[in-house]
Structure 1
Amino acid sequence: MLGYAIIETGGKQYRVTPGDVLKVEKINGNPGDVVTLDRVLLISDEQGVKVGNPTVPGAYVEASIKSHGKDKKVIVFKFKNKTNYQRFKGHRQPYSEIEILSVKY
C-alpha cells in the first residue's frame, strides 16, 4: 500500500492518496472517464521516499473524473483616479472534480 504521492496538474501541486477527491483545473474528458496523471514528483511508501528529477520515472496516478464545473466569480476592477478610467471584469475558472483511484510505481 502506497502512502502518498505529490502530483502536478494545471500548474499546481497536490498531495494525493487513493480515495481523495480534488478540485483541479479542467481536465479533458467526460464524467466517469479514467485519466492518467503522469507528472508524479514524489512517492512515499513503506520502503521510503522517492523524489523525481523532475518526475519519478514510470510512476503515474489513475483518477476518475466525477464532474466539471465553474468556480465562484472573481472580480477584477481597475481604477485610475482623476482620469475617468474604470474597468470592471469578472472571471469564473473552470474546474474538474476528480477522485484518486490508485498510485502506481
Structure 2
Amino acid sequence: MTYAVIDVGGNQIIIEPGKFYDVNYIDANPGDLINLTRVLFFSKLNVYHIGTPCLTQVLVKATILKHVKGKKIKIFKVKPKKNNRQTKGHRQKLTRIFVEDIIS
C-alpha cells in the first residue's frame, strides 16, 4: 500500500493514489495537472521515508477536478444586556483534486 502525508494549503493530509480530496483553494483551472512537492512522509510496501521537514525526491501528481464551497458555518454573537445580536455566515472555497500518482 502506497500513501503519503503532504502539506497543502497549510493542512497536512494523508493521501493515496486513485482517490480525490478537498483542499484549500488552489488558483488553477479545472483539468490542470499540478505537482505537490511538500511531501512530509512517504510509505511504499512497508518502507518508510520521513522528511526533515520535506522529502525532495518524492513528487505527487494531481489533477484539479473542480472548485467547490465547503459546509456553511454560522457565527452568532450575543452581547448580554445590550440588546445586540449578530449573525454571520461563512463558506470556505475548496478545490477538489484527484491524486494520480506518487513518484519516488
Q: CA contact under 8 A between 2:64 and 2:97: conserved in structure 1?
A: yes
Q: Deviations over 1:10-43 (max 9, x none)?
A: 1111111110110111111111100111110000
- Could you tell me how far apart the structure 2 residues matched to 1:21 and 1:28 are? 17
Q: Which residue of 2 aligns with 1:56?
A: 55
What amino acid maps onto 1:40 in structure 2? V
Q: Alpha carbon RMSD of aligned pairs, Å?
A: 1.3
What are the within-5 Å matches in structure 2 for residues 1-105 of structure 1? 3-46=2-45, 48-105=47-104
Q: Which moved more, 1:45-54 or 1:86-95?
A: 45-54
Q: Which has the higher strand share?
A: 2
Q: Which moved more, 1:38-47 or 1:26-35?
A: 38-47
Unaligned runs of 5+ in 2: none
The residue matched to 1:53 in structure 2 has which SS? strand
Q: What percentage of residue pairs aligned between the two structures are identical?
A: 38
Q: What is the count of residue pairs matched by the alignment?
A: 104
- Could you tell me how far apart the structure 2 residues matched to 1:17 and 1:72 are? 24
Segments of 4+ in structure 1 off by > 6 A?
none
**TM-score, structure 2 normalization:** 0.93
- Could you tell me how far apart the structure 2 residues matched to 1:5 and 1:47 are? 12
Q: CA contact under 8 A between 2:37 and 2:56: conserved in structure 1?
A: no
Q: CA contact under 8 A between 2:19 and 2:98: conserved in structure 1?
A: yes
